[in-house]
Amino acid sequence: MKILVINGPNLNMLGKRDKEIYGDKTLAEIESLLKKQGKALAIEVITFQSNSEGALIDFIQEQSNSADGIIINPGALTHYGFSLRDALADSGLPIIEVHLSNIYAREEWRAKSVIAPVAKGNISGLGWRGYIAALRTLVAELKGEDV
């Protein structure tokens, strides 16, 4: 089983960005934790980050045929990334949307996600642990296990 973990704009700056909102872990640390969890679940975790919507779409189109599911933190593209949304929908894969901060407790414009309608679920506000929860949940569902 292969799960794609995709991170959008500015997430490469984790560990340097506002730590009160985004925590102090770097993206590399989060990816390492995800790969360790993937190994424990006997699955492959492929990570990708880009500040470019086009690169994210290219990655999804190139990788989705050999993947079983997607975990995505679209960053600011959450609110206006319609072409990213379409690529995710076209993948035909189950998707879990993840946000480090609680997007519903922040500015009003952050509470609207164009990705949510094509996602199986959304995890928001649990920091880096949200990625682990998404991975465990997605794998369990793909294996037909109780979540």
Return the minimum-mean-pLDDT range out of 5-14, 110-119, 120-129.
110-119
CB count, 10 Å around CB of 126? 16
Identify the three-state secondary structure at position 14: coil
pLDDT band, very low/low/confident/very high, at 21 (cuts 50, 70, 90):
confident
d(CA 96, CA 133) in angstroms, rounded, equals 10
Highest-pLDDT range among 10-19, 56-65, 137-146: 56-65
Residue among 79, 80, 99, 131 flagged as catalytic: 99
Model pTM? Answer: 0.94
Residue among 22, 79, 80, 104 flagged as catalytic: 22
The reported pLDDT for the residue numbered 147 is 61
CB count, 10 Å around CB of 85? 21
**Catalytic annotation present for 99:** yes
Q: Could you give the count of Cα atoms lying within 13 Å of 95 in the half-sphere of its Cβ?
A: 22
pLDDT per position as a tens digit, 53-78: 999 999 999 999 999 999 999 999 99
